[in-house]
Structure 1
Amino acid sequence: MARLYDLGFSGHIFTWRRGNVWERIDRALANDHWLNDFLYTTVSHLSMTGYDHRPLLISINSSINSTKANFIYLNVWSSHPDFMNQVTSVWAIYHNDNPWVKLWILHKKLAAKLTSWNWQTFDNLNTRVVEAEAIVNDLEYKLSQNPNFETDLYNANEGLLNAIHLQEQLLHQKATQNHWGTETQAIIDNAVEHFQKLFTKSEVVRTEVKGNLFDHCRHYTSTLKLADIPSEEEIKTTLNSIDSNKAAGLDGFSADFYKTAWNVIKSDDIDVVQAFFTGQEPIKYFTSSIIVLITKETVCNRWDQFRPISLTSVISKIISKVLVARIQPHLNRIINNNQTAFIKGRSIVDNVLLSHELYQDLDKRCRGREYDLQIRYLQSLSHHSLRFF
C-alpha cells in the first residue's frame, strides 16, 4: 500500500465553504519518492473569489544538489541575538496533519534558512576578529595620548573578546568533522567491505530461550506502564540529560538546538515523541543513523583498530532515553543476580574474582576423575557478529 503524506499548507485553514459550513477537503499528497526529490514543495491556499473551493498553489523546488555538504547545526549560532528570529520565521508558517512529516519538512526548511543566514552572519568571523583587534590597538594608542578614551577602549576589548569567543566555538565544532582527503569513496568502500565481512560471519547456534523462565516477573512487568505516552515534563527532562556538544545525527541538529529553541519548537517535538508511543511509525529521516569510526589506538592503519558507533537524531535519543529511564529502576528485580555486567549497582569484577577463585581451585587434589576446564574469551562486542544480538 502506498504511503502518502499531506504536504501541509500556508494560508487560510479551510478550502471549501457552503453557507456557514467550512471544511478543509482539498489537500496535496505526496509519497516518499516525491519528498526525496522535491522536499521543498510548498502548498498555498489562495483566495476563493467567486468559487466555493479555494485554489491550491503548489510551488515545486528541486532538492539540494547531492554533491553539497550535509547540513550541520553549529552551537555557536544559538548565542547570536538574531538566532531565534530565524527559527520563528520558519516554524510559524507551516501546517501538516502528520507530526513526523511536519517536523521533517520544518527541519529541512530551517536548515536551508540557517545555512543562508550563517553565510551572511558568521562567514566573516575571521575578518571581524582582525578588525576588532585593529580598533583595540588604535584606541590603546589614543588612550596613551588622551585619558578620555578609557571607556571606548573597554567597550572595544569586550567586542574583541566576544568575536574571539565566537571564532573559537566555531573552530572547535568544525574541528570534530572528519576530512579524509580526495580518495573519500575508495576509503568508504574499503571500510564497508571490512565491517560487512566482520558482521556477517557464520551464524552462532544458540539454545532456545524458554518463556516460562520469566513467569516469576511477568505480572510485575505488566504493571510498569513502560509504553505510556510521555508528558511534556518527561520529554523536556530527557532532552536536558543529553549533552549539547554530542555529535548530531543524520539530520544535523544537535541537542543544543532543541534546548535553545524549545519554547518555539516544543509542540512539534512533543507531538512526534508522543506519536511514537501511540504506535505511529516514524519516517526514515528520524530513524536513519550515521556510522562513525572511533580510533582505539593513537596511530591506526588497519580497520580493526577502529570501533564503529552510530550517531542518531536527537528525537531518536529522546525516545530511547525515555524508555531507558522508565525501565532502569526495575532492572535489579527483573534480571537475575548472576548477571553482573551492564546493571547499575552491580560490578562485572565480581564474576572475574569468582572465576579466579575457581581457577585456583583446579590445582587442589580431589577424589574421582580429573576434569579439563576450557575457558573461551569472546571478542569485544564491536568485533562480534551482529547475530550475537
Structure 2
Amino acid sequence: MKTISSIQAFRDFINGGSLVDLGYEGSMFTWSNKQAGINFIRERLDRCLASIQWKQNYPNGSVVHLDDTGSDHRPLLVSSYRGGFKTKRRFRFQERWCDSEEARHNLVAWQKNLSTNLKKNIAELNSKLNAEKDKGAGADTTMIRVLEVKPEDEYEREKRFWKEKARLQWGDKNTKFFHAKFRMRSSKNKLHRLESDSGEVGTNPEQIASIAQQYFKNLFTTSKPKEPTEELEGLTRRVDNNTNRRLTRPVSDQEIKDAVFSINPLVAPGEDGFTAKFYQFFWDTIKRDVLNAVHSFFEGGKMLRAFNHTHICLIPKDSNISKMN
C-alpha cells in the first residue's frame, strides 16, 4: 500500500494547477483484477482531470468509461463536446434590472428591446469616450467625466449578474470567478440520461421529463385512499379556543410584507420567473396587488391555480446518476 508521502507530489500537482475531476458516464469502476468469487476486486483507478479554464472553454465536455473487453482497464473516452438540446429560454428576472428606470414602467418590453450585453455596452461607452477625447481642445469635459464613470457602473452590474447566476452568498470582486463557478455548476447539474423503474431509458429532455413526472406522480399518489377518521380518534386536543382564534385571525398587511422581505432575494425564481428581489425592490408599486391576492386566499379559501404551479428541477446530488431513486 502506498503511503501518503509517496503521492504528495501528485497531490501538489493537482492543487497547483487547480485541476478538477471531470466525472464520468457509464460503469463506476475502471479496473478489475478479473478474478472470481471473493478474490474479485474493482476500483476506479483512472480518471480525467482538467483546469477550470478548460471547463469554461468546453462546458459540454464529457468522459465515458468504455467496455473493458480484452483488458483489466476500461478505456476512457474524453469528448470536448457532448451533443446538447436546445430548449425554449424562460423569462427570469435579474437583479441588475433594478438599476434601470425603464424597467420600472415596462419590464417585459425592456427585456426584449434593450441591449443587456454588458461587454457590448462597455465597449460602446469606451468608444464614445475615446472619440470625445480625440477632439482635443474641443472636447466636452463634462461628457468625458460622465463616460469615465459609466463603465464602472457596467462592470458592477456584470459582477452582480454572475454572482446571482453562481448562487454564491459572499462578496468576491472577481467577475471571472463568478463566471467560472456558474459554468462549473451548470455542467455538474446537467442530466443526460435517466432510467425509469420499469427500465425505460430517456436520453432527451422530453423523455427525462416524462420519467421524472411519472416518478413524482407515483410517489405522491395512493392507490388505496381512505378517510383518516380512525387515525384521528385517538389524538388529544392540544389547541384551545383562545389559541385557535389567534391562529385563524386575518393576516395583517405588515405580516405579509414581513414574509415577502424575509425571503432571500436571490434564491431560485418561481414559475413566473420572478425572484423575491423583484417583489422587494418594486414593493411600493405592486404591494396592493400582492396584499389583495394574499387576503383573498385567507378570506375566501381559493387560490389561482397558477400560484401553485412549480417546476421540477432535477439536480444530481452525486456523480453518474441514472435513476430517480
The alignment's TM-score, normalised by the length of structure 1, stands at 0.44
1:196 Cα offset (Å): 4.6
Residues 84 and 207 of structure 1, relative CA distance in 2, 3 Å threshold: closer
Residue 264 of structure 2 contacts residue 276 of structure 2 at CA under 8 Å; is this kept in 1? yes
Residue 125 of structure 2 contacts residue 147 of structure 2 at CA under 8 Å; is this kept in 1? yes
SS of 1:76's partner is: helix
Residues 119 and 204 of structure 1, relative CA distance in 2, 3 Å threshold: closer
CA distance in 1, matches of 2:159, 2:214: 38
Q: Using the TM superposition, name which of 164-173 and 232-241 deviates more.
A: 164-173
1:231 Cα offset (Å): 1.5
Task: Give the counterpart letter for 1:209 in structure 2.
Answer: E
1:286 Cα offset (Å): 0.8
Correspondence for 1:126? 119
Residue 266 of structure 2 contacts residue 276 of structure 2 at CA under 8 Å; is this kept in 1? yes
Residues 119 and 170 of structure 1, relative CA distance in 2, 3 Å threshold: farther
CA distance in 1, matches of 2:229, 2:300: 32
Residue 245 of structure 1 contacts residue 254 of structure 1 at CA under 8 Å; is this kept in 2? yes
User: Which among 232, 245, 267 is matched to residue 288 of structure 2?
Assistant: 267
CA distance in 2, matches of 1:152, 1:271: 46
SS of 1:214's partner is: coil
Residues 224 and 207 of structure 1, relative CA distance in 2, 3 Å threshold: closer
Correspondence for 1:161? 152
Residue 91 of structure 2 contacts residue 273 of structure 2 at CA under 8 Å; is this kept in 1? yes
Task: Give the counterpart letter for 1:259 in structure 2.
Answer: Q
Residue 244 of structure 1 contacts residue 256 of structure 1 at CA under 8 Å; is this kept in 2? yes
User: Which among 210, 235, 257 is matched to residue 213 of structure 1?
Assistant: 235
Matched, 1:234 2:279: no
CA distance in 2, matches of 1:237, 1:127: 39
Residues 201 and 272 of structure 1, relative CA distance in 2, 3 Å threshold: closer
Matched, 1:79 2:99: yes
Residue 71 of structure 1 contacts residue 252 of structure 1 at CA under 8 Å; is this kept in 2? yes
CA distance in 1, matches of 2:299, 2:216: 36
Correspondence for 2:27? none
Matched, 1:115 2:93: no
User: Which among 177, 181, 184 is matched to residue 205 of structure 2?
Assistant: 184
1:160 Cα offset (Å): 0.7
Task: Give the counterpart letter for 1:274 in structure 2.
Answer: H
Matched, 1:279 2:270: no
Please tell me the root mean square deviation across aligned C-alpha atoms, in Å.
Answer: 4.1
SS of 2:315's partner is: strand
Note the 1:19-30 alignment, pairs <5 A: none
Correspondence for 2:17? none
CA distance in 1, matches of 2:93, 2:218: 34
Q: Any idea what the Cα deviations from partners look like across 1:201-258, whole Å, max 9, x if unmatched?
A: 888999953445323x231664452122211111111111011111111122221111
Residue identity (%): 25
Q: Any idea what the Cα deviations from partners look like across 1:54-84, whole Å, max 9, x if unmatched?
A: xxxxxxxxxxxxx854332222212212222
Q: Any idea what the Cα deviations from partners look like across 1:156-175, whole Å, max 9, x if unmatched?
A: 33211112222344455565
Note the 1:205-354 alignment, pairs <5 A: 208-215=230-237, 217-219=238-240, 222-297=243-318, 299-304=319-324
SS of 2:314's partner is: strand
CA distance in 1, matches of 2:100, 2:160: 12
Task: Give the counterpart letter for 1:79 in structure 2.
Answer: D
Residues 207 and 284 of structure 1, relative CA distance in 2, 3 Å threshold: closer
Task: Give the counterpart letter for 1:165 in structure 2.
Answer: E
Task: Give the counterpart letter for 2:293 in structure 1.
Answer: V
Residue 227 of structure 1 contacts residue 277 of structure 1 at CA under 8 Å; is this kept in 2? no
Structure 2: give runs of 5+ residues left out of the alignment.
Answer: 1-86, 166-181, 193-202
SS of 1:291's partner is: coil
The alignment's TM-score, normalised by the length of structure 2, stands at 0.51
Residue 191 of structure 1 contacts residue 303 of structure 1 at CA under 8 Å; is this kept in 2? no
Correspondence for 1:46? none
Structure of greater relative contact order (alpha carbons < 8 Å, 6+ residues apart): 2
Residues 303 and 160 of structure 1, relative CA distance in 2, 3 Å threshold: farther
Residue 190 of structure 2 contacts residue 315 of structure 2 at CA under 8 Å; is this kept in 1? no
CA distance in 2, matches of 1:209, 1:157: 71
Q: Any idea what the Cα deviations from partners look like across 1:320-361, whole Å, max 9, x if unmatched?
A: xxxxxxxxxxxxxxxxxxxxxxxxxxxxxxxxxxxxxxxxxx
CA distance in 1, matches of 2:224, 2:242: 31
CA distance in 1, matches of 2:221, 2:303: 27
